[in-house]
Amino acid sequence: MPYFTRSAALIRWRRASAILLALTAFTCSAAEAELPARKPFYIVPTFEGLLLCDDARNDQKQADFNLALQACDRTGRDGSAALNRVLDVLEPGGPKGQVQVGYLLTVQLLSLYKPQGDGWVIDDRRLDAMLRMLTEVKRPAVVYLQSTHFDTQGPLPAALAKDPRNLLLFADGKPPQLGYFGFAISPFTLSPDPALPVNAYRFAALRHVIKRMQALPAEARERIVGITLAGEAHQLFPDFENGMGAYEDIRVTDYSPASVDGFRRMLAKRYGSIEKLNAATGFNETSFEAVAAPSKNIRKERLNRFSEHYDAWADGYLPISGWVFDPEGRINELLLYVDGKLVGPVQRGMNRLDVYRAVEEITTPNVGFRHDLDFSAMTPGRHRAQVIAVSGPDRYLLAEVPFVVVGRDQAKVPDALPAGVDGLKTEGSLSRTRTFINKALRKLGFDRPLPGPAALPGVRSWLDMPRALQDVYYNPLAREWNRYRDGQTLAFMTAFFNVAKEAGLPADMLFSHQIIPRVNSSWNPQLFAVDSTLQPNLPWRPGINMYGGATNSAWMRDFMRRRQMSDYGAPEFHPQQWKQPGAALAALRSQYDAGARFVSPMYFSLVPDRFKGSAESAVNRMEIRPDNAKDGSDQFYQAIRDFAKN
């Protein structure tokens, strides 16, 4: 690199660094500013090892964690003393002021059961140890009544997982075989049918725990500031640990016989007659009973009819997604053009923790951008998407990519793009392609060729999706299938809420414990199918898990504003940032200002190191302790202590 180029780059970098330092100082001062008056804000960390008593903790001869827990159970002791010690360090003198520190108590419902005779009964001794925490720890508490795919401990979940009626299934009729960094996952159904064995046990345990909670002393009940229900409820997919951003060759749930029958009933209710369904979709189905749930990838499987096609784009949406780091705030907005026509704005500021980890110079995870392009009505053929960055009066070509819309008949795709793009082709040299692009952009009113992102000092960017010449096929029934799968998630959460409310819990104390896949611009939300569980005016309070950039995000604040989310909770919460001092404190302040009732930092541990393995994982990086610098967990520890002084 020539000397003058290096010097210019150095000047730009120093300028960016100065601005970032100023922003950091502003963020820290804003986070530390006097808090406006409001109802108490509760910091209720998740704790590993709540039932581990001091006797077992201090017995150096005891090296097996499960045996240590059994020893505590035999003596009727728990981890209340250890929990109190940690909380007294985080907020000395007990809970007081506008910010109060407590804890989250997780009760796994299916894991409460023990075998008795030929059946199963709730182990009240185990439940006693959990609920005793609410009496012995004089701190605010959120109770997490969990029963989704993570409720797998104990013999009953293993037995239930052997019955396919209880499980989500792939299209081949097999359940997902999944784990999560050493934790077993059971793909239990989202069906709310109370006659299913798994639901009979789930709902019976839910009612039993609620009854036991209602029998607690009044002072213990009054310390409960919220109750989260079920857990992250969503459909499942392969490679649960790492597969949330998969788009190629995806597999989804739920293709169980009961689920497919439900899909057909949904279509019948929605359209009324098979003739109306055919008129809306252009298909020639003979009856609702004959409709197949879309499951076959047209590129690799033989289809009996086009309506069977299913892949990540079959519902008619193509993500235009990537990331842009703009430390000096040069970009005002991003716009998407397709074939020379403005489509609309591109959302940005979305979480990309992977980019934050990979590139040292990138100091915030909130660099993602995305627009889900509806191509369902586009003409078959080759098209080109262009992401334009607006900076003051100027425009820059941030990214571009050709893609191909293929019709049902899979006729030969035209060589040229549609009229209006001046014959831009996808083949040919880069220079020739650039010439065509510039001609097309001049037709948009730009009187000179648009420069690329390199002309924006300090800006770095990348387009992740789609790949060049991605072929996409729209199947209207795939859109219906995704809508139906989304509705299954909502039905499950609604059933859980209804049982809890009928058992006597007030609605304003009940929170979801849900995930927002769309805050991560590289994730595939179809794999999860949760959009309807995040809509406005649901009967429960919103409980939204937040990691990385989502903990302090303009995108997230706008998402919650549009969905009228207030007095919400964050049942799982960790900024996972270490590059800017003050990021964790700013994240807590952001939630306070937004009206959160509680956040639950993920996670503290009461388990001595001798019981833990040495292998690093995405989970134990987040253990919040003063000597764990991974994922900024030490900074988060100090931020909790500092914020609790308010």
Between the CA of residue 531 and those of 14, 281, 488, 492, what are the distances in Å?
A: 42, 23, 11, 14
Instruction: Give the three-class secondary structure for 10.
Output: helix
Kindly tell me if the per-residue pLDDT of 543 is higher than 70: yes
Q: Return the pLDDT at 439.
A: 59
332 shares a domain with 291: no
Report the pLDDT averaged over residues 35-58. Answer: 94
Q: Please report which helix (H) or strand (E) contains residue 265, including its range.
A: helix 257-271
Q: Give the list of residues 6+ apart from residue 372 with CB closer than 8 angstroms, or none.
A: 317, 318, 319, 320
Average pLDDT over the chain, rounded to whole?
Answer: 90
Residues ≥6 apart with Cβ < 8 Å to 168: 175, 176, 187, 188, 189, 190, 235, 236, 253, 254, 256
Domain presence at residue 251 = no
Give the domain-ending residue among 293, 312, 331.
312
Residues 292 and 357 occupy one common structural domain: no
Q: Are 489 and 635 part of one and the same domain? A: yes
Query: Are 413 and 376 members of one domain?
Result: yes
Same domain, 67 and 207: yes
Higher per-residue confidence, 127 vs 409: 127
Position 27 scores a pLDDT of 47
Q: Are 101 and 221 contained in the same domain? A: yes
User: In terms of domains, do 515 and 635 share one?
Assistant: yes
Residue 604 has pLDDT above 70, yes or no: yes
CA torsion through residues 182, 544, 514, 607, sign: positive
Q: Is the pLDDT of residue 26 over 80?
A: no
Residue 178: band (very low, low, confident or very high) from pLDDT cuts 50, 70, 90: very high
Q: Determine the pLDDT at residue 453.
A: 85
- Where in the sequence is the domain holding 360, given as residue range(s)? 317-470
Handedness of CA 268, 273, 274, 275 (dihedral sign): negative
Q: Among 295, 312, 329, where does a domain finish? A: 312
326 is a domain residue? yes
pLDDT confidence bin for 448, thresholds 50/70/90 = low
Please indicate, yes or no, whether residues 283 and 151 belong to a single structural domain of this protein.
Answer: no
**Burial of residue 17, with CB atoms counted within 10 A of its CB: 0-12 exposed, 13-18 middle, 19 or more buried:** middle
Q: What is the CA radius of gyration of the chain?
A: 27
- Whether residue 28 is contained in a domain is answered as no
Q: Domain boundary residue among 451, 470, 489?
A: 470
Count the domains in the chain. 3
Query: What's the half-sphere exposure (Cβ side, CA atoms, 13 Å) at 639?
Result: 29
Predicted local distance difference test score (pLDDT) of residue 184: 83
Residue 566 lies in a domain: yes
pLDDT for residue 431 is more than 60 = no
Where is pLDDT greater, at 461 or 444? 461
Contact 516, 298 (CB under 8 A): no
- At 415 the pLDDT is 54
- pTM comes to 0.89
In a domain, 27, yes or no: no
Residues 144 and 44 placed together within one structural domain of the fold: yes
**Does residue 411 fall inside a structural domain?**
yes
Q: Are residues 272 and 229 in the same domain?
A: no
**Tokens (6 digits) for 49:** 């090892």
State residue 183's pLDDT score: 82
Tell whether 239 and 269 lie within a shared domain: no
For residue 88, being part of any structural domain is answered with yes
CATH number at residue 169: 3.20.20.80
* Residue 61's pLDDT band (cuts 50, 70, 90): confident
DSSP collapsed to 3 states, 529-559: CCHHHHCCCCCCECEECEEHHHHHCHHHHHH
Q: Tokens 């989804």 map to which residue?
A: 252
Instruction: Based on the fold, state whether residues 190 and 212 are members of the same structural domain.
Output: yes
Residue 215 inside a domain? The answer is yes
Which residue has better confidence, 180 or 520? 520
* CA-based nearest residue to 41, from 598, 636, 470: 598
The pLDDT score that the predictor gives to residue 440 is 56
pLDDT at 492: 98
Tokens of 380: 């078959």
| Residue 181's pLDDT band (cuts 50, 70, 90) | confident
Distance separating alpha carbons of residues 204 and 384, to the nearest angstrom: 55
What's residue 123's pLDDT? 95
